C-alpha cells in the first residue's frame, strides 16, 4: 500500500493542512518509510481477536442530564481570535 504524491495531497487536504509543493515529495518518502515499517503487523495472527478499544475495564458512567454550568459567554470567548457582542466572528461559511 505505497503512498504516492496524489495520496499525500489528498490526505493533506482531508487534514486541512496546506503542504507546499516542495514538501510533497519528502512527505511521500517519510510516510512510506513509516508505513512500510508498520507493515510488519501483518505477521501477527489476529484471527478471531477482539480489537482492544479501551484498557479501562469499566462501563461508561451515566449522570443526570441536568445543566451544571453556563451563562459564561465572556469567559468562553476570552481566547477568541475575533468576537463581538457575545459571539465568535468567523469568515463567511455559506456563499
Partner 1 sequence: MSELTSLTLKAALEGLRAKQFSSVEITRALIAAVEAARPLNAFVLETPEKALEMAAASDARIASGDAGALEGAPLGIKDLFCTEGVRSTAASKILGNFIPEYESTVTANLFGDGAVMLGKLNLDEFAMGSSNETSAFGNVINPWKSASGGNRALTPGGSSGGSAAAVAADLCLGATATDTGGSIRQPAAFTGTVGIKPTYGRCSRWGIVAFASSLDQAGPIAKTVEDAAILLTSMAGHDPKDSTSLDVETPDWAPFVGKSVKGLRIGVPKEYRVDGMPAEIEKLWQDGIDWLKEAGAEIVEVSLPHTKYALPAYYIVAPAEASSNLARYDGMRYGLRAEGGNLTEIYENTRAEGFGQEVKRRILIGTYVLSAGYYDAYYLKAQKVRRRIADDFDQAWQTCDALLTPTAPSAAFALGERNADPIAMYLNDVFTVTTNLAGLPSISVPAGLDSGGLPLGLQVIGRALDEGTVFSVAGALEKAAGFRAKAERWW
Out of 21, 22, 44, 71, the residue judged to bind partner 1 by CB under 8 A: 44
The rounded distance, in Å, linking the Cα atoms of 60 and 8 is 37
Scanning residues 47 to 76, which ones bind partner 1 (CB under 8 A)? 49-58, 60-61, 63, 72, 75-76
Confirm or reject binding of residue 84 to partner 1 (CB under 8 A). Answer: no
Distances in Å between the Cα of 30 and the Cα atoms of 3, 8, 22, 23, 37 are 10, 11, 14, 10, 11
The rounded distance, in Å, linking the Cα atoms of 75 and 56 is 33
Confirm or reject binding of residue 12 to partner 1 (CB under 8 A). Answer: yes
Size of the site for partner 1 (CB under 8 A): 54
- Whose CA is closest to 5, among 20, 30, 27, 38? 27
Q: Which residues bind partner 1 (CB under 8 A)?
A: 1, 3, 7-8, 11-20, 27, 30-31, 33-35, 37-38, 40-44, 46, 49-58, 60-61, 63, 72, 75-76, 78-82, 88, 90-93
Amino acid at each position: 500500500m505505497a503512498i504516492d504524491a496524489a495520496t499525500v495531497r489528498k490526505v493533506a487536504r482531508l487534514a486541512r493542512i496546506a503542504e507546499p509543493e516542495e514538501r510533497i515529495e519528502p512527505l511521500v518518502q517519510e510516510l512510506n518509510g513509516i508505513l512500510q515499517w508498520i507493515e510488519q503487523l501483518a505477521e501477527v495472527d489476529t484471527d478471531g481477536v477482539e480489537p482492544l478499544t479501551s484498557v479501562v475495564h469499566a462501563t461508561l458512567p451515566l449522570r443526570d442530564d441536568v445543566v451544571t454550568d453556563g451563562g459564561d459567554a465572556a469567559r468562553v470567548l476570552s481566547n477568541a481570535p475575533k468576537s463581538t457582542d457575545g459571539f465568535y466572528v468567523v469568515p463567511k461559511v455559506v456563499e
